[in-house]
Every structure is written in C-alpha cells, then in structure tokens.
C-alpha cells in the first residue's frame, strides 16, 4: 500500500479526569502536521473505544484559527507579539517590584482547569507558589468541589479519603445531582458512563435524584425530582428510616460514633415532612426507602448539582451516612477508597487524623470570615482582595475567571485595578483580552503527559502519552514557562521536589522540550517506574477491597464520625426553597468555559408551566434575573425539568450565570460560593 503520510499515535484525552484512551490520526505534510481525527482506542483497558464529543473535538481545538502562538505583552494599552525573553523578563521585573514593595501575598495565583490536566505544569505551578511564598492560591476547588473533602475530613478524619462506587460489584447505585452520562462524573472518572449504568441497572437498581429528568435518569430504574436544593431532605429521610430499621448493627456498635446525635438531627424528616419540603410523591419516597432497605450494600454518587448548592455539605454528609449505615464503605458492592498510584496512601505508617471541627487555615485579610481550605483561599474573595489593594498581581493559569468566579461584574471591575494580569492560555478569551502578559501554552496534543489526578480514576492506574504533534508557533510547555519565570525571580524550581525525587542535573535552565524529564520527576514516587510506563502507556495495580489501610485508619480514628457538629448545625438551619430556583447543568460538547466554539447554545431550560406564567414561548429570548444582574438566553420548554427550576449551563461569556452569583454569599465552613439553588425570576427578553 502506498504511504499516505498519515500516522496514528496512541494517546489519552485530558479534557476531563476520565482520561479515555484515544487514537490520533496525523497527516505529515511539508506544509505542516495536520491532526485529522481523534477516535476511541478499542484496546484501551478502561475506556475500550469510548470517546465523547469533547475528546473528538481535539483536532478543531488544535487547529483553531485564533489559537495563541506567540507571547504577548501590553505596550501602550495594546497587546503586541514579543519573544519569550522580553515577555518573561518584563513579567518577572514587575512581579519582583510588587513583592519587594508589598510582600509575596500581593501576588495571587489561580490554578484553573486549563492547567489542571497538565501534570508537569500543575506541579510546577505549585512549586512557583511555594517559592514565592504567597498564600493567595485559588483553584476550582471553591467553585465546585469543597463538600467532598470537607465531609471526608469531618467524618473520616482525613480529607484525602477519595470515595467512589464499586462499579464492578455494586447492585444499588444512587446519583444525586449528577449526570455522568454527560459529565462523566464529578471528582471521579467514569468513561463510558452509559454502558456502566446500563450494566448496573440490568443486574440491580439505579436511582437518580435530580430536578431534571437527565440523560442518566433515562437509563435509571427510578427517578425522584425534588425541588432544587432539597436533595438533602430525601437523604435525611432515608437515613432516618434506616436508623429506625435496616442499619447494620455491627457497624453501629463498632464503626460509628455519635449515631444518637445523627438520629436526633434527622428525626424531623418524616415521610410527610420530606414529601412536602421536596415536593415529591410520598409513595415514591416509600418505594425508595424499601428498595434501600432491601438492597444491602449500595453506593451514592453526588455531582455539581449538589456541590454547588447551599445544601452541599449536609447532602454529602448524609450520602456518606447512608453508605456507612448499610456497611457499604470500603466493601465490595459498595464504595472504595482510592490509595493513589503516585501517592500510595497505604504506604504511610499512619494517616493524619484531623480534629472533629475540621482543618482550616487563615484566609484573606479583606474577608476574615473566609478561611483557607486545603491551603487555598476562596475564589469569592479575589475581587475584594484586589479592591483592598492586597492583591496587585494575578497569575492566571488556564482559568476563565469571569465565567467561573462569582459576581462577574464586580470581578471585571477589580481586574482593571491590577498592576499585572498574566494569563497562560491556548486560545484567546475575555481574560487574555485584558491581560498585561499572555503566555501561549502547548495544548494537550503538543506535550507529553501522565495522568495527574490518578486518585480520581476508576482504577489504581497511570497513563503516559508522548507529544502527538510539534507545538505551533512559539508555544511552550506550561512547566517551562513557570520554571523560567521562577528563575528570573531567583528560584530554581527545576531543582525542587515537584512530586518525584530531588536530584540529577536538571537544575538551572532547562530546554523547553524536556517534558519527559519533568514527568519522570512527577512520577518519582509512583508504584511503577516511569521508564516502564513510557513503554507500556498504561499501568495498573491490584485494587484492595476491603482495603486494610482504611480499616487501620478507622481503628485509630475510633470509627466514622456520624454527626459532625458543624454539619448538624447546617442541617438545622436549612430553609424552604424559593418558588423559582436556578440550577446548573453540563453539556455534551462544552466543559466549563472550554470548547464554546463547537456551537452548543446556552439554552435556558424551563418547565412549560413556569414559562406560561411568565408569558414565554419556546425558542424565545428569555431573561433570568435576580438582585445582582440578568442573563439572557434562548428558552427551551421541556417537561424534563420540574416546575420551579431554571437551568442555565455555566461557562458562557454571552450568557454568564456568574452575573447572578454573589461573592458575599459563601459557605461559612469552606468559602464555597452558591452557584446553584439561587432564587431568580424570568421574563421575556426586551
């Protein structure tokens, strides 16, 4: 056969944590490499040929006509292409001046989703923050993720307990505010969710608790559609009923602490009270209760519909309580805890045990009520810190600040007050347009990589991919950009521990194509040798279930803390929802602020009854309003969403829901912003 000039490279997708195996077809041409197609790798041991539209769109992302290819520096109000030396020299000089005059805390760093799937880049960003010694670190943690580590900390005494369903053995699975058929899970990886859910439903039961009849609910054996923000009430009812009859006695006696206080906390959640609060059929609640009692072990998975809501902490708490009471934690057919491929939690002599009140640190000066959590400040505090003059420079690493942070109008105004706004990106955004320095990073097809968040995967595993194509223009690996910035600030980041062993002769200036050298250091403490991973592409270790290290930790802890006082107090303070509430959702071809060029619209889902009351027709422009602002989009009337819920996807600059979010309305424990369950009104757009 004639040589067509097309080669196929085996890689893995890094759009999300599912990291599906892909095959990338590349046409080598004298005019330049052309990425023709991305398809599923049928030989991949986990995804087995599955890909989603986001992963298959990587060629369009790589060849986007507006992609950033050259460093840019703002001169006389205009961004101009310059070389790396000029851009980084200027950035470092200005950062050094700010640090010398105002201290390291005057420099903020946001580790956005763009760098969150870049192993060496993310670790180097952490090293830069540590070297600068700034406490002003921000990430998507306080945008959609605090409830899970908080509950692990308060109930399990260690926030590193990463809990997920035993998909191979579970016969009863409950999804709360999660739509993995589209999102592939939240804080866990779930390739081919459709196939997995169908298999579980075939051998058992899958229930979905969500105000929308989602793509996942269509595959489920049962669906409850409570009012937005009342998922916790359904779980509180189930916990109450199990404590009356059905809870595992051995667990109650030997692995549970403060079960009596838990019982008192959920006592008000009778069937009648829960049905009225959540506006669900009492008979459906009873069916779910009976199914839970008869199931034995089960697993509960939550998504951003939970973690972005006011009730996030109590809902996650009650989900864990439900699994503990059914002896489902660390058990086949229930839930398991990931030990990590790189970190190997089971190798620790003893995991740290947090105090009952949780683990927090000091927060920003402008918001003394907002403590740090997992070493990060709440994203909601950024605008206030800038306005107070505390943060004067921001290094934005792959983040869509205005479509991710709350109160976008206030933040947009605050960004103009910064002396320095440096943004590392691959495509122009509304943030690069107002930045002082634009740092073009390689996209995922242009760099070698390993799986960074292995602790979120479905297996104890790691993956490696080589670069598929050469970088466009002057794009550089994110780790190199940050290492060179650090070097100019007087810090040799390449001689620091970024996850692997310190040593070798990698210190000082490092060539920008030394990706593998940095990845070897990231994987320096992993279960397998990096060189072997490069050859194999995928490595997997046996999964222990039950895991002895989890049981040993519980022995030291004294048992699961069933009723943390902070969560008991939050449950007691829950109130009834307003008549019309905003809820988020994921889309098939759109993730956060990424891939908006694929053409998905920011459609606003309305129940026909709510639309009729407001005089809104299907396909009409509709305005969603609250006291902070308005968002306008196209109305789509559907009975798949219950009355009283309005659904707008996050991440669209043109229909930015963060014009409706309040940076003052945060969770008092973690600083998490309320992105879901916001009271709104609707009207035809003028």
Summarised one tens digit per residue, pLDDT across range 472-486 is 999 999 999 999 999
Long-range contacts of 189-192 (CB under 8 A, 24+ apart): 189/16, 189/17, 189/18, 189/19, 189/453, 189/456, 189/457, 189/458, 190/18, 190/458, 191/18, 191/19, 191/20, 191/46, 191/47, 191/48, 191/50, 191/458, 192/47, 192/48, 192/50
pLDDT digits (tens, 9 = 90+) for 252-276: 999 999 999 999 999 999 999 999 9
pLDDT at 160 over 90: yes
Does residue 522 surpass a pLDDT of 60? yes
- Phi, psi angles (nearest 5°) of residue 489: -90, 0
Residue with tokens 């307003």: 578
One DSSP character per residue, 236-252 reads HHHHHHHHHTTS-HHHH
Judged against a pLDDT cut of 70, whether residue 512 lies above it is answered with: no
Per-residue burial over 288-317, b = 16 or more CB atoms within 10 Å of its CB, e = otherwise: bbebbbebbbbbbbbbbbbbbbbbbbbbbb
Query: Quick check: 146 pLDDT over 60?
Result: yes
Read off φ and ψ for residue 12, nearest 5 degrees.
-140, 150
Burial of 4 (0-12, 13-18, 19+ CB in 10 A): exposed
Dist. CA 571–CA 313, nearest whole Å: 9
- In percent, how much of the chain has pLDDT > 70? 96
Cα separation, 657 vs 309, in Å, equals: 14
Dist. CA 460–CA 321, nearest whole Å: 25
| Cβ-based neighbour number of residue 676 at 10 Å | 29
Is pLDDT at 145 greater than 90 in this prediction?
no
Strand 21-27 to 34-40 pairing? antiparallel
The predicted structure's pLDDT at residue 600: 67
- Predicted confidence at residue 510, as pLDDT, reads 55
Per-residue CA distances from 32 to 376, 591, 626 (Å): 42, 29, 50
Of 372, 364, 404, 423, which is closest to residue 388 (Cα–Cα)?
Answer: 364
Alpha-carbon distance 582 to 661, whole Å? 10
Mean pLDDT to the nearest integer, 370-388: 96
Residue 585 pLDDT level (bands cut at 50, 70, 90): confident
Q: How many CB atoms lie within 10 A of CB 685?
A: 16
C-alpha to C-alpha distance for 648 and 641, rounded to whole angstroms: 12
Q: Which of 513, 507, 503, 481 is nearest to 493 (CA)?
A: 507
Mention every residue, 6+ apart, whose C-beta is less than 8 A from residue 261: 562, 563, 568
**673 φ/ψ sector (left φ>0, alpha ψ -120 to 50, else beta):** beta
Residue 508: pLDDT above 60?
Answer: no
Comparing C-alpha atoms, which of 586, 598, 657 is closest to residue 427?
598
The continuous run of DSSP H or E covering 539 comes out as strand 538-541
pLDDT per residue as tens digits for the range 177-225: 999 999 888 878 888 999 999 999 999 999 999 999 999 999 999 999 9
Q: What gap in Å lies between CA 73 and CA 436, rounded to an integer?
A: 6
Pull the structure tokens for residue 474.
Answer: 């002057």
Residues 532-542: tens digit of each pLDDT: 999 999 999 99
- Work out whether the CA dihedral 491, 493, 494, 497 comes out positive or negative: positive
Predicted pLDDT of residue 511: 63
Secondary structure class of 20 (helix, strand, coil): coil
What are 640-668's pLDDT values in tens digits? 999 999 999 888 888 899 999 999 999 99
Which range has the worst mean pLDDT, 1-15, 176-190, 305-319?
A: 1-15
What pLDDT shows up at residue 499?
47
Q: What is the mean pLDDT of the chain?
A: 93
Kindly state the average pLDDT of the residues 433-439: 98
Q: Which of 112-121, 181-190, 584-593 is most confident?
A: 112-121
Residue 144 has a pLDDT of: 87
Angle in degrees, 0-180, between the axes of helices 259-266 and 231-244, rounded to the nearest 10: 120
320-325 mean pLDDT: 98
**Burial level of 516, CB count in 10 A (0-12/13-18/19+)?**
middle
Residue 633: pLDDT band with limits 50, 70, 90: very high
Determine the pLDDT at residue 644. Answer: 97
The string of pLDDT tens digits covering residues 29-68 is 888 899 999 999 999 999 999 999 999 999 999 999 999 9
Q: 637 near 607, Cβ under 8 Å?
A: yes
Q: Is the pLDDT of residue 4 over 80?
A: no
DSSP line for 354-372:
--TT---B---TT-TT--B
Indicate whether 594 pLDDT > 80. Answer: no
Torsion of CA 17, 20, 21, 25, to 10 degrees: -100
Say what the pLDDT of residue 496 is: 58
pLDDT classification of 599: cutoffs 50, 70, 90: low
**Residues 6 or more apart from 509 whose CB is under 8 A from it?**
484, 487
What pLDDT, on a 0 to 100 scale, did the predictor assign at position 501? 30
Q: Which two tokens stand for residue 314?
A: 């109590």
Question: What's the pLDDT at 592?
Answer: 74
Give the residue among 437, 403, 404 at the shortest CA–CA distance from 418: 437
- Cα distance between residue 481 and residue 423, in whole Å: 11
pLDDT the model gives residue 505: 34
| Per-residue pLDDT band at 332 (split at 50, 70, 90) | very high
Element (DSSP H or E) covering residue 423: strand 420-425
Could you check whether the bond before residue 546 is cis, i.e. omega within 30 degrees of 0?
A: yes
Q: What are the strands, taking DSSP E only, across 316-419?
A: 335-337, 393-397
**Beta-carbon contacts of residue 65 (< 8 Å; ≥ 6 apart):** none
Q: Tell me the CA distances in angstroms from 558 to 161, 321, 326, one per residue in order.
A: 16, 16, 18
* Number of other CB atoms surrounding residue 96 within 10 Å: 14
Cα–Cα dist 127/482, whole Å: 9
């Amino acid at each position: 056969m004639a040589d067509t000039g097309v080669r196929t490279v085996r890689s893995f997708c890094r759009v999300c944590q599912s990291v599906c195996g892909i095959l990338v077809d590349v046409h080598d041409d004298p005019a330049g490499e052309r990425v023709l197609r991305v398809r599923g790798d049928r030989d991949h041991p986990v995804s087995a040929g599955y890909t989603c539209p986001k992963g298959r769109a990587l060629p369009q992302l790589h060849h986007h006509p507006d992609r950033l290819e050259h460093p840019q520096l703002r001169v006389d109000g205009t961004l101009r292409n310059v070389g790396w030396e000029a851009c980084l020299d200027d950035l470092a000089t200005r950062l050094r001046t700010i640090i010398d005059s105002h201290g390291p805390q005057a420099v903020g760093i946001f580790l956005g989703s763009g760098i969150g799937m870049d192993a060496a880049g993310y670790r180097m960003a952490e090293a830069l923050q540590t070297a600068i010694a700034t406490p002003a670190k921000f990430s998507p943690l306080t945008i959609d993720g605090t409830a899970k580590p908080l509950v692990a900390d308060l109930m399990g005494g260690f926030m590193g307990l990463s809990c997920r369903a035993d998909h191979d053995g579970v016969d009863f699975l409950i999804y709360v505010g999660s739509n993995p058929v589209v999102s592939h899970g939240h804080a866990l990886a779930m390739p081919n969710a459709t196939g997995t859910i169908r298999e579980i439903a075939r051998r058992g039961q899958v229930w979905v608790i969500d105000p929308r009849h989602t793509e996942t609910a269509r595959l489920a054996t049962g669906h409850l559609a409570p009012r937005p923000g009342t998922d916790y009430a359904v779980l509180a009812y189930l916990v109450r009923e199990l404590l009356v009859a059905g809870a595992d006695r051995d667990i109650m006696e030997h692995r549970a602490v403060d079960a009596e206080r838990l019982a008192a906390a959920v006592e008000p959640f009778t069937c009648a009270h829960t049905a009225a609060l959540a506006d669900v059929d009492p008979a459906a609640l009873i069916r779910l209760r009976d199914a839970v009692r008869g199931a034995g072990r089960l697993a509960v998975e939550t998504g951003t519909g939970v973690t972005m809501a006011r009730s996030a902490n109590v809902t996650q708490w009650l989900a864990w309580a439900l699994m503990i009471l059914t002896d489902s934690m660390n058990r086949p057919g229930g839930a398991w805890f990931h030990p990590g491929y790189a970190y190997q939690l089971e190798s620790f002599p003893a995991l740290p045990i947090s105090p009952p009140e949780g683990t927090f640190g000091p927060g920003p000066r402008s918001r003394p009520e907002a403590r740090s959590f997992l070493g990060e400040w709440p994203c909601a505090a950024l605008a206030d810190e800038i306005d107070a003059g505390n943060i004067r420079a921001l290094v934005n690493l792959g983040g869509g600040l205005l479509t991710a942070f709350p109160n976008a109008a206030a933040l947009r105004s605050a960004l103009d007050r910064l002396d320095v706004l440096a943004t590392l990106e691959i495509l122009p955004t509304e943030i690069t347009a107002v930045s002082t320095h634009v740092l073009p990073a390689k996209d995922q097809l242009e760099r070698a990589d390993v799986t960074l968040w292995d602790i979120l995967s479905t297996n104890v595993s790691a993956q490696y991919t080589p670069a598929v194509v050469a970088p466009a223009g002057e794009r550089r690996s994110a780790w190199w950009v940050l290492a060179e910035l650090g070097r100019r600030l007087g810090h040799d980041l390449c001689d620091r521990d970024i996850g692997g062993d310190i040593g070798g002769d990698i210190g000082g200036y490092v060539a920008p194509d030394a990706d593998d050298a940095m990845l070897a250091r990231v994987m320096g403490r992993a279960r397998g040798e990096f060189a072997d991973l490069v050859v194999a592409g995928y490595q997997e270790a046996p999964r222990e279930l039950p895991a002895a290290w989890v049981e040993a930790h519980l022995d030291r802890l004294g048992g699961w803390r069933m009723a943390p006082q902070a969560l008991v107090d939050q449950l007691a303070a829950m109130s009834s929802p307003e008549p019309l509430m905003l809820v988020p959702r994921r889309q098939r071809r759109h993730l956060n602020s990424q891939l908006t060029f694929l053409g998905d619209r920011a459609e606003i889902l309305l129940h026909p009854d709510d639309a009729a009351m407001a005089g809104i027709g299907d396909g009409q422009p509709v305005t969603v309003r609250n006291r902070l602002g308005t968002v306008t989009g196209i109305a789509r009337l559907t009975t798949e969403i219950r009355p009283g819920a309005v659904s707008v996807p996050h991440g669209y600059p043109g229909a930015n829901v963060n014009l409706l979010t309040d940076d003052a309305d945060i969770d008092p424990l973690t600083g998490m912003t309320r992105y879901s369950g916001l009271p709104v009104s609707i009207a035809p757009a003028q």
